[in-house]
Amino acid sequence: MAAGYSLKDDLFNTDTVTRLANGFADAGVFKAQPFVDQVMAGLAPLELKARIAWIAEVLADHLPSDYQAAADAIQAGMPPPLSTDKTDDDFGHFIYAPLGVYVENHGLDDHLPTSLDLLEDITKRFSMEFSIRAFLNTHEAAVLERMQDWAVDPNYHVRRLVSEGTRPKLPWGQSIGVTQDQTLPLLDKLHNDPTRYVTRSVANHLNDITKKEPDVVLDQLSDWRDTGAQNTAELNWMAKHALRGLIKAGHPGAMAHLGYAPDAEVDVINFAISSDTVARGEALDITTTLSSNTDAPIIVDYVIDFVKSNGTTAPKVSKFKVLDLKANAPATLKKKHTFKDNATTFSLYPGAHRIHLQVNGRIRASLPFALT
């Protein structure tokens, strides 16, 4: 990413605001330039989410005061729906996110059918996964009933809204009260979707559930495997994506579901690091040689017990390699781990550390080292 890049400025600027305004101007709803001037006058100091809220606030000044009339105006001012020719990564344009916030602000308490119709149409231009959550919290039963229809909608943007909008841990999204017992029947309708855009969302939803109920997800994936409604390759991809957190944590059930036996008879012939002391900003070379008397699919990770600010340690798992270890054919793996200092998301502290070799979720060897 280029130095000085600003996501908020890339998504919300004079050009994109003008694009939004021109849609309404072309539909005869309001004049573009006064709207653009008002938005840009207050935009610069705001962060990304605040910019979305601000544009929605300005929209309220320019749209009709009557909600139904405003809803009709939004329908008239939107661009054509996104193409349905793609199968993945088709989020649309962020500049239409304020339309959903406007619907939250003005159509949440009353006008529910109109608001849901509007969100259904807006999500064909930009995903309404954030805005639908306010309606789930206020009108849970009615929204879940509507989602039964959305889950079989011809437009995959609408179908994805069902799984993404109900995710237990949607990044940036407000918390919702719906349970997995309410959402799993919806995912059951969606798991055999022909578009990766939808199945990726289903897998991410399942990954959220694994944080608290891993066995529920494993049972669901097994049921889908037995049903055979989704093609095997896609369901296997979904399972790997859904279980990624459990695999990283070495969960035996997740390993077994993906065909990696936790008790695989793998011998560690060698496990070594390039030094028993490493400074922050430097790197360790990690080497291991593994062998087996039988063919063995394996996931090899290394786990470092990092010292925290209070002197205790916490493990951090990193990927080494996924491979099919052949019988009586030792495999040597090498990896370089750089201890990046002054990272924005992870702080390094000096002290006694340990590094572990993990094969199919089980620790097979360990070595101490000091970080200075």
Confidence of residue 83 (pLDDT cuts 50, 70, 90): confident
Gap between the Cα atoms of 65 and 103, Å rounded: 13
Distance CA 208, CA 53 (A): 27
Tens of pLDDT, residue by residue over 111-149, are: 999 999 999 999 999 999 999 999 999 999 999 999 999
How does pLDDT run across 265-307, given as a tens digit for each residue? 999 999 999 999 999 999 999 999 999 999 999 999 999 999 9
Q: Which fold has domain 63-257?
A: 1.25.40
**Rounded distance between C-alpha atoms, residue 254 and residue 69, angstroms:** 52
pLDDT of residue 303: 97
Q: Is 233 helix (H, G, I), strand (E, B) or coil?
A: helix
pLDDT in tens, 148-202: 999 999 999 999 999 999 999 999 899 999 999 999 999 999 999 999 999 999 9
Q: How many residues does the chain have?
A: 372
Confidence grade of residue 346 (pLDDT, cut at 50, 70, 90):
confident
* Confidence at residue 17, expressed as pLDDT on a 0 to 100 scale: 98
- The confidence band for 361, taking pLDDT boundaries of 50, 70 and 90, is very high
Residue 132 burial (C-beta neighbours within 10 Å; 0-12, 13-18, 19+): buried
Element (DSSP H or E) covering residue 75: helix 67-77
What is the per-residue pLDDT for 341?
Answer: 86
Domains of the chain by residue range: 63-257, 266-371
- Residue 1: the pLDDT is 43
Q: Are 139 and 126 in contact (CB under 8 A)?
A: no
Q: What is the pLDDT of residue 87?
A: 74
With H, G, I as helix, E, B as strand and everything else as coil, classify residue 93. coil
Mean pLDDT of the chain: 95
pLDDT, one tens digit per residue, over 233-258 is: 999 999 999 999 999 899 999 999 99
Q: Which CATH architecture has domain 266-371?
A: Sandwich (2.60)
pTM comes to 0.89
Q: How many helices and strands in the chain, by DSSP H and E?
A: 16, 8
What is residue 4's predicted lDDT score, i.e. its pLDDT? 67
72 pLDDT exceeds 80? yes
Res 179: pLDDT: 95
Q: Which DSSP category does 173 fall into?
A: P
Q: What does the buried/exposed string (b/e) look like for 282-319 if buried means 16 or more CB atoms within 10 Å of the residue's CB?
A: bebebebebbbeeebebbbbbbbbbbeeeeebeeeeee
Q: Indicate whether 345 pLDDT > 90.
A: no
Mean pLDDT calculated for residue range 28-38: 98
- Residue 9's φ and ψ, nearest 5 degrees, are -75, -30
What CA–CA distance (Å, rounded) separates 72 from 111? 13
How high is the pLDDT of residue 84?
81
